[in-house]
Chain A
């Protein structure tokens, strides 16, 4: 559950201690970011990027003037003060040397570097059996040309990413392999997974971001997307069920065109459905939902008739007209749902307060630094203009003070960078809530399908009964009536089959929900606890350092202390 790599201490480089105070960089670019989500995403991108040993730390193609391939300045910001080669530069240890830390605390510091890691949320890293792993890297974005003429004007080029997988899982049939994929492929993968694994909490894919083709190629955008893709794929590989899915395997391994059914847009589906509808109504094609389609929600499909039926059913359900025949654990489910909603609200609240806490810490560090700088200027001034020894003494005192203020300022900002990472767990889980809702709605729509079929079955059966009852009355109409009864019985059988399949599907989804909720609870507890630990350790470490800085000044100015009582 704990990421074994040293993720995220690189941020410390941004504030690497330099002794020349004059070079204090107060206008650190990250301080200027207006929104903290930028700050956070900047942080998290730093994390995910540096942890993988295969990750090239900087994209370098000196000869190529293509903007995509030259290192984007955005990333340069992050690594400005750090040499990019060695990923393991000595981090300023939060606890100082062992001697700094009370011996009693040492045993708890088996989370030794823990306070310095980004929390690695269980559901975003491999947590199952330690020996097996699937490590995915996304890199090397390249512009490619559309093979056929695109209908969309201004189109024609798109970006592909190199996706490298390293694994020891035997099902993959390989140790290391790479493919090139474009974003559209990722959308396809995500959609196919959503269909196949209804009810599971599937990590959400990166946004589509409808933008102009010009912006598409801007290096910043490409870089952000690269990072997001990597994060997404890693999360997929960390999900206990998804990691074994065919869809993922195919996506990661099969060269050339992605052999998954492309997602068609809603419009054309509706179009198809509209074409089918008249036939269905006239009885030409099957009125019964084909078994394989029962497994999918009506909304996404081409079957308008089914859509209407289920809509009708859901209205009936809502108005309490017909009693839903499947009620059972609904109550327990509703309780769980309530709890999830409550959790979501609290997470959101904490998230908001965490953001303002982070801002306050940042401001504290910044202002402390500015105060220090102001006194450095004063020191210089007094030294230059000194005509009295008292001035020189004062300048000396000021220098000690200013140096301490600048140091403390740096510590505050380092502390804050890590606080951001730790508290990011909250945001991650908040994002997860959306996924949970979508898994719940999978269940709801499956239930709706079942209910619709049940009520249809019951109305078909009552029609059949009525028909049989009228048999003996009219003479000569017998043959057509019998045929009708036969047809009806056929329809009933088919509907019965569909109903059974639908019920099975519903049960499957319910079970998915249940097991996922269990997994969520367990992992959430672990992750949040780790977050707390990281946060607390972090605070302790940096506050100790800040205290030391000021204690030194207290000693240096102790001669003034005897003036007070």
Chain B
């Protein structure tokens, strides 16, 4: 079942309607296991359909693996500070599940959503890195993947750690553990508090959602076992009672199948979106950290520039021969400082836009998730009721005979 979540940002075109002026539509499909043993990994087909001039043609198919997606995310995070970069599914820690069909499908779905969110974001979709990702041949991609730059010199697995470092740094700042070089913006404070709290609430909800999936599986299993046992009892009893038992047992086994199906639906259409929500919030936290960095840099540069200015004036008054040098330094610093301020202000502006979009998107995503959940549960309950109900006339016959 294709993911039902699509980013719908205000100014984007619908990714799947070629009839509108420009379109960029991506899908991540066909997971294939490659390699052997410890080196084994999954590769995906990424299919791009577009009429944008920047792209090489109307359709392009490339093969990508998980770390390529990580590369893309890291590049975007580096370049588009202030924007909430769509989250990636976790690199699975547990070896056992790395190649289970369910895990692979969940990951594929999440990667598909990831790319499409980028493709439908009015700023991110213009990224050159995105174009590279969607079009470059595998060798180029491999080369790029291995030369990581910026703060992401570490391997992708450590990105979570970086997140955590950044998180703790932010918390330190928020909690006032460090020298308080932070914005005194009450609205922003409220937002930060909201984001941190939200993550906790969501994580708990997701935990229960996952357990609920397990419960469905367990109930399914026990219905199956119960059905088998009842059928054996029926065989032992014989006559009409035996028949009744045997019917009951069969029905029970049928329902077990329904429950397993519903467990899967629940996992894909509810638990996974919730997890995605949690990841999105974590991504926002990373942006918050970036903003804090930018603010600090802006402050530091402003201060340094001020000092340089004072120094320059001093030197000018003293008619020192160092004035020229100082003047150049000062000018350079001034440019840098202004740049830093500009960067910071961009981040603030972007974040404000992003948060609105984020809230709207999440309302939509959760609405869909609730809808699917309710549909599934209603379908399941009705299925169970109907199955048992069909037994009633048969039981009546048994007792009258």
Chain A positions within 8 Å of B, measured between CB atoms, are 105, 108, 339, 342-343, 346-347, 349-350, 352-354, 356-357, 359-361, 363-364, 367-368, 370-371, 374-375, 377-378, 381, 385, 387-388, 390-391, 393-394, 397-398, 400-401, 404, 408, 525-526, 528-529, 532-533, 535-537, 539-540, 543-544, 546-547, 550-551, 553-554, 557-561, 563-564
**How far is A388 from B355 in the complex, measured between Cα atoms in Å?**
10
A381 in contact with B201 given A353-B226, A525-B241 (CB within 8 Å): yes
Is B343's CB within 8 Å of the partner chain A? no
Is B209's CB within 8 Å of the partner chain A? yes
Q: Which of A350, A375, A400, A543 is within 8 Å of B229, CB to CB?
A: A350
A529 adjacent to B398 (CB under 8 Å) = yes
Is B328's CB within 8 Å of the partner chain A? no
In the complex, what residues of A have CB within 8 A of residue B56's CB? none
B377 adjacent to A357 (CB under 8 Å) = no
**Looking at chain B's contact residues, is the secondary structure mostly helix, strand, loop, or mixed?**
helix
A387 in contact with B190 given A346-B229, A551-B378 (CB within 8 Å): yes
B222 adjacent to A564 (CB under 8 Å) = no
In the complex, what residues of A have CB within 8 A of residue B375's CB? 550, 554
In the complex, what residues of B have CB within 8 A of residue A368's CB? 212, 215
A528 in contact with B241 given A363-B218, A401-B373 (CB within 8 Å): yes
B226 adjacent to A532 (CB under 8 Å) = no
- Closest B residue to A366 using CB positions: B215
A529 in contact with B215 given A401-B373, A560-B364 (CB within 8 Å): no
A391 adjacent to B359 (CB under 8 Å) = yes
A388 adjacent to B359 (CB under 8 Å) = yes
Is B366's CB within 8 Å of the partner chain A? yes
A401 adjacent to B392 (CB under 8 Å) = no
**How far is A357 from B229 in the complex, measured between Cα atoms in Å?**
12
Q: Which of B208, B229, B366, B388 is within 8 Å of A353, CB to CB?
A: B229
Most chain B CB within 10 A, of A354, A400, A543, A553, is at A543
Is B244's CB within 8 Å of the partner chain A? yes
In the complex, what residues of A have CB within 8 A of residue B377's CB? 408, 546-547, 550
B144 CB to closest chain A CB (Å) equals 35
Interface extent on B, as a size class? 35 or more
Is B349's CB within 8 Å of the partner chain A? no
16 A-B pairs with CB atoms under 8 Å apart are A350-B233, A353-B230, A354-B226, A357-B222, A374-B208, A387-B191, A390-B360, A390-B362, A391-B359, A398-B366, A526-B399, A532-B244, A533-B392, A536-B248, A543-B388, A547-B382
Is B350's CB within 8 Å of the partner chain A? no
A553 adjacent to B374 (CB under 8 Å) = yes
Is B96's CB within 8 Å of the partner chain A? no
Report the 5 A-B pairs with minimum CB-CB distance, sorted nearest first.
A553-B374, A547-B381, A560-B367, A543-B385, A557-B371
B208 adjacent to A371 (CB under 8 Å) = yes
**How far is A535 from B374 in the complex, measured between Cα atoms in Å?**
25
**How far is A378 from B364 in the complex, measured between Cα atoms in Å?**
16
A385 in contact with B190 given A539-B385, A539-B388 (CB within 8 Å): yes
A375 in contact with B226 given A529-B244, A540-B385, A547-B385 (CB within 8 Å): no
**How far is A560 from B205 in the complex, measured between Cα atoms in Å?**
21
A378 adjacent to B194 (CB under 8 Å) = no
A342 adjacent to B212 (CB under 8 Å) = no
- Closest A residue to B228 using CB positions: A353
B275 CB to closest chain A CB (Å) equals 14
In the complex, what residues of A have CB within 8 A of residue B228's CB? 353
A367 in contact with B212 given A350-B233, A385-B197 (CB within 8 Å): yes
Q: Which of A394, A400, A526, A536 is within 8 Å of B388, CB to CB?
A: A536
A393 adjacent to B229 (CB under 8 Å) = no
Q: Which of B190, B194, B237 is within 8 Å of A343, CB to CB?
A: B237
B272 CB to closest chain A CB (Å) equals 15
Is B393's CB within 8 Å of the partner chain A? yes
**How far is A6 from B384 in the complex, measured between Cα atoms in Å?**
26
CB contacts under 8 Å to A, within B344-401, are 355-356, 359-360, 362-364, 366-368, 370-375, 377-378, 381-382, 384-385, 388-389, 391-393, 395-396, 398-399
CB contacts under 8 Å to A, within B189-245, are 190-191, 193-194, 197-198, 201-202, 204-205, 207-209, 211-212, 215-216, 218-219, 221-223, 225-226, 228-230, 232-233, 236-237, 239-241, 244-245
A391 in contact with B374 given A532-B245, A540-B389 (CB within 8 Å): no
In the complex, what residues of B have CB within 8 A of residue A377's CB? 201, 204
Is B4's CB within 8 Å of the partner chain A? yes
B13 CB to closest chain A CB (Å) equals 16
B378 adjacent to A547 (CB under 8 Å) = yes
B400 CB to closest chain A CB (Å) equals 10
Q: Which of A349, A363, A529, A560 is within 8 Å of B233, CB to CB?
A: A349
In the complex, what residues of B have CB within 8 A of residue A550's CB? 374-375, 377-378, 381
**How far is A564 from B16 in the complex, measured between Cα atoms in Å?**
13
A532 in contact with B371 given A353-B226, A393-B363 (CB within 8 Å): no
**How far is A323 from B172 in the complex, measured between Cα atoms in Å?**
94
A564 adjacent to B244 (CB under 8 Å) = no
In the complex, what residues of B have CB within 8 A of residue A553's CB? 370-371, 373-374
In the complex, what residues of A have CB within 8 A of residue B215's CB? 360, 363-364, 367-368
Q: Which of A370, A532, A546 is within 8 Å of B208, CB to CB?
A: A370
A378 adjacent to B232 (CB under 8 Å) = no
A346 adjacent to B385 (CB under 8 Å) = no
B366 adjacent to A397 (CB under 8 Å) = yes
In the complex, what residues of B have CB within 8 A of residue A347's CB? 233
Interface flags for B174-202 (1: CB within 8 Å of A; 0: not) read 00000000000000001101100110011
**How far is A558 from B368 in the complex, measured between Cα atoms in Å?**
9
**How far is A535 from B392 in the complex, measured between Cα atoms in Å?**
10
Q: Which of A367, A528, A560 is within 8 Å of B368, CB to CB?
A: A560
**How far is A367 from B215 in the complex, measured between Cα atoms in Å?**
8
In the complex, what residues of A have CB within 8 A of residue B223's CB? 357, 360
B178 CB to closest chain A CB (Å) equals 26
**How far is A390 from B355 in the complex, measured between Cα atoms in Å?**
11
B370 adjacent to A360 (CB under 8 Å) = no
In the complex, what residues of B have CB within 8 A of residue A529's CB? 241, 244, 395, 398-399
A401 adjacent to B370 (CB under 8 Å) = yes
**How far is A338 from B209 in the complex, measured between Cα atoms in Å?**
49
In the complex, what residues of A have CB within 8 A of residue B202's CB? 378
In the complex, what residues of A have CB within 8 A of residue B232's CB? 346, 349-350
A543 adjacent to B384 (CB under 8 Å) = yes
**How far is A511 from B208 in the complex, measured between Cα atoms in Å?**
60
A113 CB to closest chain B CB (Å) equals 16
B229 CB to closest chain A CB (Å) equals 4
Q: Which of B205, B218, B236, B364 is within 8 Å of A346, CB to CB?
A: B236
A398 CB to closest chain B CB (Å) equals 7
A554 in contact with B378 given A343-B236, A363-B218, A397-B367 (CB within 8 Å): yes
**How far is A532 from B248 in the complex, measured between Cα atoms in Å?**
8
In the complex, what residues of A have CB within 8 A of residue B373's CB? 401, 553
B88 CB to closest chain A CB (Å) equals 23
- Closest A residue to B197 using CB positions: A381
B205 adjacent to A378 (CB under 8 Å) = yes
- Closest B residue to A370 using CB positions: B208
- Closest B residue to A373 using CB positions: B208
In the complex, what residues of B have CB within 8 A of residue A546's CB? 377, 381
**How far is A564 from B3 in the complex, measured between Cα atoms in Å?**
9
In the complex, what residues of B have CB within 8 A of residue A352's CB? 229
**How far is A546 from B373 in the complex, measured between Cα atoms in Å?**
13
In the complex, what residues of A have CB within 8 A of residue B360's CB? 388, 390
- Closest A residue to B378 using CB positions: A550
- Closest A residue to B221 using CB positions: A360
Interface flags for B122-163 (1: CB within 8 Å of A; 0: not) read 000000000000000000000000000000000000000000
Q: Which of B197, B205, B241 is within 8 Å of A374, CB to CB?
A: B205
A359 in contact with B356 given A364-B216, A408-B377, A547-B385 (CB within 8 Å): no
In the complex, what residues of A have CB within 8 A of residue B211's CB? 367, 370-371
**How far is A385 from B190 in the complex, measured between Cα atoms in Å?**
8
**How far is A557 from B4 in the complex, measured between Cα atoms in Å?**
15
A361 adjacent to B384 (CB under 8 Å) = no
